Amino acid sequence: MADALPPIVDLRQSATALRVQRGVMRMLRERHDMACYAEVPLANGRRADVLAVGPRGEIWIVEIKSSLIDFQVDRKWPEYREFSDKFFFAKPPELEAGIFPESEGLIVADGHDGAILRDSPDTPLPGARRKALMLKLARLGADRIHILMDPGPR
C-alpha cells in the first residue's frame, strides 16, 4: 500500500513529508547509487531529514519542506551545510519552487519518485568530519537493522 508507514519512522513527519521522503530516497538510490538514511542526528544537535552516501563516499543532506509555513518557520537549514558535500531542499510538486534560495539545490518528489530541479554547489567536507560522520552512519545503520530484527528492549 502506497500510504503505509515505513517500518522505521519517528512519527514527527506529516503525511506529505513522508511521501516526499520516499520519493527522494527512491530517486537517490535508483539514479545516483546512493545509500539513504532518514532522520539522522548530527553532532550539532540538528537532525537531517535524509542523508545519502554515494559510491565514492560523498555525502548529501536533503531538508524536506512540505509547505510554505514549514519553510518560513524553519531557519536551521544553513547548519546542515557543514555536514554534507551537497545540500538540497526537497518539496512536494504542489509547493512553489520560487520560495527556496537559488543558492541551494532543489528536489521535487512525491511518494513514487523525485527529480533534481537545481543542483547543489559542491562544498567538500573536511576529512576528519567525513570520517566521524561515516562511523556514525555505520553504527546508526546497524542499530536500525537490529531494531527491525529484535524490536524488544534495547
Identify which has the larger pLDDT, 151 or 79.
79
Q: What is the pTM of this model?
A: 0.88
In a domain, 78, yes or no: yes
In a domain, 101, yes or no: yes
For residue 1, pLDDT over 80 is answered with: no
Count of structural domains, the chain: 1
In a domain, 153, yes or no: no
In a domain, 131, yes or no: yes
In a domain, 24, yes or no: yes
In a domain, 53, yes or no: yes
In a domain, 76, yes or no: yes
Place of cell 526537497: 90
Question: What is d(CA 75, CA 31) in angstroms, rounded to the nearest whole number?
Answer: 30
Look up the domain containing 100 and give its range. Answer: 13-147
**Cα 4 → chain centroid:** 19
Identify which has the larger pLDDT, 104 or 14.
104
In a domain, 8, yes or no: no
- Residues 72-113: pLDDT tens digits? 998 889 999 999 999 999 999 999 999 999 999 999 999 999
Q: The C-alpha cell of 104 is what?
A: 541551494
Burial class (CB in 10 A: 0-12, 13-18, 19+), 88: buried
For 28-124, where are the E strands, in sequence order? Answer: 35-41, 47-53, 59-64, 86-91, 105-109, 114-118
- 9-18, 93-102, 113-122, range with the lowest pLDDT: 9-18
